[in-house]
Structure 1
Amino acid sequence: MSALSAAAKKGLGDPELAELVMIRASQINHCAFCLDMHLTIAREQGVDQKRLDLLDAWEEAGDLYSERERAALALTEAVTVLTDGFVPDEVYAAAAKHFDEDRLAHLIGLITAINGWNRLMVSRRIAPGGYTP
């Protein structure tokens, strides 16, 4: 999972977007450890605090997030939740509009990896605060 996470993040080529995606999935999955970790990393990278504060309500946040970021966040939610058993075609198409085939594969790999990490850390009841940069 570490190798997948690193390769996907590097291949996506947008460290800020990668952190936003990992934070959003971790919010949905209620993974306090991963939230603590990725919020810390995002702040260290200089991500605007307002963007972090409003991430849970990104759809209502107006133009605080770009169309590309909104497409990635919608895909993150669809892959994370899978309530209908699949990613809706319109969500996939919106993401494919903003990411070439390689970057889309890396984005999906990143979403898959953080969901795996969330499930591992929540299942093991790993508390926040243990991450050190």
Structure 2
Amino acid sequence: MSTDAPTPADDREDPLRFYLDKASPEVWDAMTGLRKAVAAYAEDAELDAELVELISLRISQINGCAYCLDIHTRLAEKAGLSRQRMALLPAWEEAGDVYTPQERAALRLAETATRLPETEEQQVAQMMAHGDLTDRQYAAVQWIAVTMNATNRISILSHHPVKKRG
């Protein structure tokens, strides 16, 4: 999530607009610090920027966070992610070789962290991920999922508007 979100004073007449991040900037700053630490950890674990953005996009799709989808689509483009790979992301399991085994493992793990299915399904996803991800990559994917889910919820609860572009 970026800092270009409107301030609470921008929409005082709209009772649905309450910018949680702006209302408690000290907590938002702590969340920003966590996101930066997770990004550094992911880079150190050798997760490339395309994969990080695939994970962020997929989680935002599942959660229905338009604001985060808008931001992470632009970040994914900057990272070099193709339109095809972004368009097929909701159906990544059916997309065959469009996604690498590592990407499929990371997406499965991130989806599991987002949906929190029954224990057996979680365990299957976790076991499968260990075959294509190192321990550090596995942890990085989990941390990306945790922070992206939290960021999605902040944006959704704040009703952050999406600005029409081009």
CA distance in 2, matches of 1:112, 1:87: 18
Count how many residue pairs are aligned between Structure 1 and Structure 2. 130
For residue 55 of structure 1, the aligned residue among 76, 84, 89 is 89
Letter in 1 for 2:114: T
CA distance in 2, matches of 1:61, 1:87: 21
- Larger Rg belongs to: 2
CA distance in 1, matches of 2:163, 2:130: 36
8 Å contact from structure 1 (residues 74, 91) kept in 2 = yes
RMSD (Å), alpha carbons? 1.7
Q: How does 1:112-123 map to 2 (within 5 A)?
A: 112-123=146-157
Which runs of no fewer than 5 residues in structure 1 stay unpaired?
none
Kindly, what percent of the aligned residue pairs are identical? 35
Map Cα deviations across residues 56-91 of structure 1 (whole Å, 9 max, x no partner). 110111110011100110111111011326862110
CA distance in 1, matches of 2:76, 2:124: 29
TM-score normalised by the chain length of structure 1: 0.90
CA distance in 2, matches of 1:127, 1:85: 36
Map Cα deviations across residues 10-36 of structure 1 (whole Å, 9 max, x no partner). 322311100000000000000000000
User: Is 1:31 the counterpart of 2:61 in the alignment?
Assistant: no
- Higher RCO structure, 1 or 2 (CA under 8 Å, sep 6+): 1
Letter in 2 for 1:77: E
Letter in 2 for 1:129: K
Q: For the structure 1 residues 79 and 32, does the alpha-carbon distance in structure 2 shift closer, same or farther, using more than 3 Å as the test?
A: same
TM-score normalised by the chain length of structure 2: 0.73
